[in-house]
Each structure stands twice: as structure tokens, then as C-alpha cells.
Amino acid sequence: MALQLLPSTLSVPKKGSSMGAVAVKDTAAFLGVSSKAKKASLAVRTQVATAPSSVTTSPCSATAKPSGKKTLRQGVVVITGASSGLGLAAAKALAETGKWHVVMACRDFLKASKAAKAAGMADGSYTVMHLDLASLDSVRQFVDAFRRAEMPLDVLVCNAAIYRPTARTPTFTADGHEMSVGVNHLGHFLLARLLMEDLQKSDYPSRRMVIVGSITGNSNTLAGNVPPKASLGDLRGLAGGLSGASGSAMIDGDESFDGAKAYKDSKVCNMLTMQEFHRRYHEETGITFSSLYPGCIATTGLFREHIPLFRTLFPPFQKFITKGFVSEAESGKRLAQVVAEPSLTKSGVYWSWNKDSASFENQLSQEASDPEKARKVWELSEKLVGLA
């Protein structure tokens, strides 16, 4: 259930500060700070009196220096689902460079705060803000609260996800959409669409939107051929709103619900959405849109609903048999590269890493790279989230 965040409960005193400018070596990609860039000098402390799980506490300073100087203000990156696993590891990796302020957009404020502290993230390097992707109202409230905090938005990472492999009956978001696709795709779709405005306003030299994908949504791989395979069909279930009541809860319109397939289908939507953003906005805005498969992070909370035997055997299976295993820390570094590395600015790319942990542009399956399907998913999703 989304936590209602009343605008009146937020207060945002702004303080001038010259802290937070980060010296950058002679990397061409970082030199283009616009002369029109406003010298944003921000210190944000938001306080909420009545709703502890929507409190944001850590100060952020993001300072733009005049153009021509080899300095770069601290970047601001929003990461959804940063309370555990890949999102937390990436948040930590980025925050500890000192070059990034991380906005941890999480459904459980207390869990996220404790996770940041336990991970050793320094006070002031992050802000926790409430976001429940299972409620479109909560997504809109997050966007409002983020804007109220007057931070720039330089990079958005759509990372949060749920996986319900043993579910044989669907559950639904506050808006009545099947939960896996609702959270993993539709919530992020609305968030990303709304925050495009903010990304476009950013004066940061390399603005990016990253939507986390997966090998299991790609049927051109062995992992993607493990049943149930992802397939969106003719999208009739999505067109029907995934409500279950008046139609199917599955994107392809299948009458029977399969939680594992719903997750894989949602990942196909994530990868298609990234490419559709690229086609619609990259040339016009210069924003980099990318997706990635971070490796098999077999120890994360993603598998919390799987049977105990799976949770026991999955990490050694991935470590010793498929050798696709990566630690949470390593996966976090990979996502951090897609957020920040000057070498990964190419837009429309689905990044993966080889056995030496070097990044490469990977091939998506036919379905996950079908432009016509991407356009249809975009248009149907627009309707479901109230944008069209």
C-alpha cells in the first residue's frame, strides 16, 4: 500500500554551498558543462513530521562550476529498489566515489536507511525517499517530492523488481495490474516518463536512463530457454489491463497465471522500453538510454519467494556449473559503470560482461529487440498508467 506523503509535511530549506564539486581529469565527455548551466548550489534537508517512512535525511550538495574549468559538480542519481541487492551495491559503489549523491527510491524507508548504514554509506552521500512502484499514485508522489527537494536529476536507474516464481494466482497493484509487470514495468514506465522532464533540465554532461534487464528475458540464450520462456504474444493481456478480472493477468493473454513467466515478460518490457526511449528521445535530447544484464546475482532478495531448496542450490549451481555467478558487490560495480563510466555513453545498448568482467554490447533476442512490439508496449503502457 502506498504511503500517503502530504506535501505539507515536507520542508526544504535551501542553503548555498560550494561543497560537492568534484575535480575530473581530462576526459572529453566531462568537459562540456554548458555555460548556461546554472550554478546550482544545493543543500537539501527534507523533514517529515508525521510519516517516518517518507523521511529523507541526508544532505546533498550538487554544485556546478562555470564552464571552461575542469571540474564537475556532484551528479545526482535516483536508484529504485536500492534497499538491497544490485540497487544497494550500485548505490554504495557510486556514493563512495564522492562524485555521486544517491537518491534511494524505496518502498520501505526504514529498511533502506538501515541497509545504507550497514553498507557503510557515508551520511550525506545519499537520501532515502519513499517510492512504491506498486502504486501509480506513489510514483507521482515520489516525483513531486523529488522536485520539491530541488535536486537536479542526472541519472535515473530503474532497478527495483519482484519475482514470484511459485505463484499460481496473480496478485495486483493498487491500480489493479498484475503485480510483477505492474511493479517491474508499469511503475517504472510512469516514473521514467515523468522524470524525462527532469533529466532534460539537467546540465550534467552525461545524462542517462538505465533500465535493468536480464538474460532470462532473452530467448537467444540458454538461460532464456529455461521454461517458462518469456513471450509477449500479441499483447492482448496488456491491452486488457492485466486485471485478471475481466481478462488475463498475463501479457500474452494466457488464461492461466505463471509468476515466473510474468517476471520474464516484465524484463522483456524493460528492455523494449529502453530501446523505445532511445528511438524517441536520444537524438533530440542527447540522453543515453541503456539496459544491462548484470550477471547472475544468485544471493539477492529477488529469490525470497522461491522454494528453500532452490535458494540453497541456486548459488552453487551458478558458481560452479554455469559460472554465471557474480557477487552483489561486483554486480553493483557493473551497474555503477553503466551510470557513470565515460566509455559507456552509447545509447540504445544492452550491456553485459564477459568472464574477465569486461563490458560488451550484447545482442537482445528477436522479441526483446522488436521495434514494432516496443512501440505497441509503449502505447498500451501509456494508457494503463494514465498518460494517454
Exactly one of 55, 103, 302, 340 binds ligand NDP (CB under 6 A); which one?
302
Instruction: Report if residue 351 touches ligand PMR, rule: CB under 6 A.
Output: no
Tell me how far apart the alpha carbons of residues 45 and 109 are, in angstroms, rounded to a whole number: 16
Binding mask 221-260 for ligand NDP (x = CB under 6 A): ----------------------------------------
Q: How many CA atoms lie within 13 A of 224 on its CB side?
A: 20
CB of 329 to ligand NDP, least distance (A): 12
Whole-angstrom Cα distance, residue 187 to residue 192?
A: 9
Kindly state whether residue 216 participates in binding ligand PMR, applying the rule CB under 6 A.
Answer: yes
- Asked if 353 touches ligand PMR (CB under 6 A), the answer is no
- Short-list 102, 208, 193, CA closest to 151: 102
For 180, the enclosing helix (H) or strand (E) is helix 179-181
CA distance 345 to 76: 17
Residue pair 152/202 in contact (Cβ under 8 Å)? The answer is yes
Q: Which of 77, 144, 76, 133 is nearest to 107 (CA)?
A: 133
Q: Are 52 and 110 in contact (CB under 8 A)?
A: yes
**Applying CB under 6 A, which part among 50-58, 62-70, 231-239, 298-306 lies near ligand NDP?**
298-306
Query: How many of the other CB atoms lie within 10 Å of CB of 169?
Result: 10
Q: Which is nearer to ligand NDP, 10 or 112 (CB)?
A: 112
The verdict on 79 binding ligand NDP (CB under 6 A) reads no
Where does this chain touch ligand PMR (CB under 6 A) — which range of 44-52, 148-156, 212-220, 339-347? 212-220
Cα separation, 140 vs 135, in Å, equals 9
Interacting span for ligand PMR (CB under 6 A) from 114-122, 172-180, 210-218, 281-289: 210-218
Least distance in angstroms from the C-beta of 116 to ligand PMR: 23
The rounded distance, in Å, linking the Cα atoms of 247 and 241 is 8
State which of residues 87, 165, 182, 244 lies at the interface with ligand PMR (CB under 6 A).
165
Report the residue number whose CB is nearest to ligand NDP.
Answer: 85
Q: Which is nearer to ligand NDP, 161 or 194 (CB)?
A: 161
Rounded to a whole number of angstroms, the minimum distance from the CB of residue 231 to ligand PMR is 14
Question: Which residue, among 339, 146, 164, has the nearest Cα to 261 in the 3D structure?
Answer: 164
x-marked contacts with ligand NDP along 109-148 as a string, rule CB under 6 A:
--x-------------------xxxx--------------
CA atoms lying within 13 Å on the CB side of residue 139? 27
Other Cβ atoms closer than 10 A to 307? 11
Which residues from 250-289 bind ligand PMR, rule CB under 6 A?
263-264
- Per CB under 6 A, does 324 bind ligand NDP? no
CB of 315 to ligand NDP, least distance (A): 10
CA 152 to chain centre: 17
Is the dihedral angle over the CA atoms 105, 383, 212, 296 positive or is it negative?
positive
Q: Regarding beta strands 75-80 and 100-106, do their DSSP bridges make them parallel or antiparallel, or are they unpaired?
A: parallel
Q: Is 228 in the site for ligand PMR (CB under 6 A)?
A: no
Options 31-39, 213-221, 239-247, 363-371: segment touching ligand PMR (CB under 6 A)? 213-221
Per-residue cell: 209? 536512463
Indicate which single residue of 220, 223, 247, 252 sits in contact with ligand PMR (rule: CB under 6 A). 223
Decide: is 352 part of the binding site for ligand PMR (CB under 6 A): no
Q: Provide the mask over 50-79, with x wherever binding to ligand PMR is found by CB under 6 A and - wherever it is not.
A: ------------------------------
Query: Candidates 28-36, 75-83, 202-210, 373-381 — which segment interacts with ligand NDP by CB under 6 A?
Result: 75-83
DSSP state at residue 182: I
Q: Which does 103 bind (CB under 5 to 8 A by kind): ligand PMR, ligand NDP, none?
A: none
